[in-house]
Amino acid sequence: MNILANLDFTTAIKYLVPSLIDGLWIVIQTTLFGFILAIILGLFMAIGRISKIKIIRGTLVVFLEFIRGTPLLVQLVYMYYVVPLLISIIVQIWNPGYQFKISPVVAGTLGLGINYGCYISEVIRSSMLSIDGGQTEAALALGLTHNQVLVRIIIPQALRNVVPVFGNYLVMMLKDTSLLAYVSVNEMLLRTQSYASQSFLTIESYTLLAVFYLILSLPLSQAVKLIEKKMQKFS
């Protein structure tokens, strides 16, 4: 009971909330750019997975299995700490002394984009394969090339069908940005950990953090549900 009696949300709100607001923009930035990257990578990987070139398909299968078989946190740490070292070692063959560096925000954004891109690629690929093959045959009969059929007919329909799924992944990515604290991105979780360790207002600090994520994710989740209903009307 003494702990509850000593709760001081007023102080936590006064000093932590402004910091959380600053961290909020980092969360939005990494989510937005990470999601755009995920969609772009997902689309290209989906196209590669249905390619007739075996080496492309095989390489992508290995890469996808690696990403889906390892935790996102491990991938983020690898992107921030290991990848720069590997690049430096390779470049030093021609340029001794070269040191490649990557900022925490860039590493986090790339990590999120690559991870979610692999999952999104499978969604897009499945959607592309579900398109009626008769449309492709008809388009080819009219003189379109395979690439034109892919760009003008298959991809637009596939992307339209998976828009609701994209929304769910966006909400998931928003919440997964909290993992970026472990690669030194000064987002909301890292700011909360720092404030809680200095002020000892542990309950207050992490409660406010949870509220901030709820304020972000709940409206976004409702927007996704609304989009799903709209898409159902046109399907």
Instruction: For residue 104, give Cα distances in angstroms to 27, 30, 119, 133, 187.
Output: 13, 11, 23, 45, 11
pLDDT band at 154 (very low <50, low <70, confident <90, very high): confident
Three-state secondary-structure class, residue 216: helix
pLDDT band at 230 (very low <50, low <70, confident <90, very high): confident
pLDDT band at 71 (very low <50, low <70, confident <90, very high): very high
Residue bearing tokens 């009696």: 5
Q: What is the mean pLDDT of the chain?
A: 89
pLDDT tens-digit series, residues 156-189: 888 888 888 888 899 999 999 999 999 989 899 9
Q: Read off the pLDDT of each residue in 57-68 and give the average, rounded to a whole number.
A: 94
Token representation of residue 159 = 């992307």
pLDDT tens-digit series, residues 25-47: 999 999 999 999 999 999 999 99
pLDDT band at 98 (very low <50, low <70, confident <90, very high): confident
Asked if 15 and 199 touch (Cβ cutoff 8 Å), the reply is: yes
Asked if 145 and 206 touch (Cβ cutoff 8 Å), the reply is: no
**Residue-by-residue DSSP string for 62-130:** HHHHHHHTS-HHHHHHIIIIIHHHHHHHHHTTTSTT------HHHHHHHHHHHHHHHHHHHHHHHHHHH
Token representation of residue 220 = 């976004």
Distance CA 166, CA 133 (A): 24
**What is the reported pLDDT for 190?**
93
Q: Taking Cα atoms as reference points, which of 116, 131, 141, 128 lies closest to residue 42?
A: 116
pTM for this prediction: 0.90
Three-state secondary-structure class, residue 187: coil
Q: Read off the pLDDT of each residue in 81-91 and give the average, rounded to a whole number.
A: 93
pLDDT tens-digit series, residues 135-149: 777 877 877 777 888
**What is the reported pLDDT for 51?**
85
Dihedral (Cα; 50, 56, 61, 66), 10-degree rounding: -140
**What is the reported pLDDT for 132?**
78
The percent of residues above 90 in pLDDT, for the chain, comes to 58
Residue 4 has pLDDT above 80, yes or no: no
